[in-house]
Structure 1
Amino acid sequence: MDDLRSKPAIDRWRSLRELDESLQHPKGSAFRAFRRLENHWQETSDFIVLHHERDRALIDILRQQQRIYASTVNLVMLSPELADAVIAQMRRMTTDPAE
């Protein structure tokens, strides 16, 4: 896994807000799609959960860059591969109510 504290890694990993906005979906859409896929992916290599106490500095950077929702406390950052899978799931959920 990339060190998320490095500039290239921060730029490469995606937030749920970025996915919601990329498809012009309401807040929470990417999170719901992620939850459906979460068990098939590995924490620390495919996604990382940033905790408000431990990762405050990084969360503040992402908030300043407007990459996360203002109300975010703890957040999930996704690898590019998982971000693509979540976007595909979001599209399926939009077109197929059973998804």
Structure 2
Amino acid sequence: MAKTEKTWSLKEIDQQRGDKKGTAFLAFKQLKDSFDEGRDYYYLSASQDGREIEQLRQAERIYESTVNAILLTEGGYSAVLDYLDG
């Protein structure tokens, strides 16, 4: 993952908008087929990215119950917001 790139977690989007938990995830699921992994989002798997997921959890960027994490890039973030505001 591009460490210098700004990313947003689904939790951060929910909190920023005042939406209930899972709202950004549902939007992501609707848009996922039009997204490119590595360009619009990064998928962090518990088996391969456990250390990074734990760092995100400690920084309170993801939900405590998150197993595998999704981080949206600027493009993915904008698309999710557009979808939610649609």
The TM-score with structure 2 as length reference comes to: 0.91
Matches of 1:87 and 1:70, distance apart in 2: 23
Q: Provide the secondary structure at the position in 2 that maps to 1:69.
A: coil
User: CA-atom RMSD, angstroms?
Assistant: 1.1
Stretch moving more, 66-75 or 83-92: 83-92
Q: List alignment gaps of at least 5 residues for structure 2.
A: none
Q: Match for residue 89 of structure 1?
A: 83
1:33 aligns with 2:36: no
Q: List alignment gaps of at least 5 residues for structure 1.
A: 93-99
The number of residues matched between the two structures is 86
1:78 aligns with 2:51: no
Q: Which amino acid aligns with 2:19?
A: H
The TM-score with structure 1 as length reference comes to: 0.80
Stretch moving more, 23-32 or 82-91: 82-91
Stretch moving more, 61-70 or 42-51: 42-51
Q: What is the percentage of aligned positions where both structures have the same residue? A: 34
Matches of 1:63 and 1:77, distance apart in 2: 13
CA offsets per residue over residues 26-67 of structure 1, 9 Å max, x none?
001001111111111101221121111110110011011100
Runs of 4+ in 1 over 3 A off after TM superposition: none
Q: Provide the secondary structure at the position in 2 that maps to 1:70.
A: coil
CA offsets per residue over residues 64-90 of structure 1, 9 Å max, x none?
110000000001111111101101211
**Pair member with larger Rg:** 1
